[in-house]
Structure 1
């Protein structure tokens, strides 16, 4: 105990560094995972991945990933236009990736097995010079 009291700054540094190492895993949401733009393209082309934009309709109309379905985050649980095959890879997109990360947990609770968010969202997709369209 004396060691801990005498070296409180070392203990604090160890706790902070441990927290920083765990932060990316904790900030993804419940069981969520994020894929890069390149990995999303691979999933779409090779594994018939489905892009779902969880942005609000006005955001979707302003610009979205080409070929993405719009199912707003608030209506995911009752959405009828989700794929019936729950094993298909789903890539969720929003403006920054934050809403999509939360939506991963919602869809996993609905039984979808292979759900991921696009890391960085639409901004990262545009940065990679991938196609964007307006409604």
Structure 2
């Protein structure tokens, strides 16, 4: 019985793949442009809850993409239907974190879905969210340096 519970938890928590029933996901294309570096890794953090938005480790899942000499890339992905927001960073010095200055302002490029450009404080989920309700959703994000 314990094994059945663990298997149910693993299958139920899966966002992508064969464990997701047909019809609950939709194809989304994320286009990221204006990369500052054509070699440094870009990290995309996908959020589907307001409470966890921009909190470390609270993303639904993340992806790392190497630009392979290009200043933009396209990431096709299947997302469960609903509201989503994306935050991205580019790790210019490859230290696996978003570097910040002494007052907490990022010193490496970052961006958000809907191309929200915060001026004083980090944006909230509602500003960055987009709705996945069928195939063909395209999310364009311009990286801020």
TM-score range, shorter chain: under 0.3
The two structures have a TM-score, normalised by structure 2, of 0.27
The two structures have a TM-score, normalised by structure 1, of 0.28
Structure (1 or 2) with the larger CA radius of gyration: 1
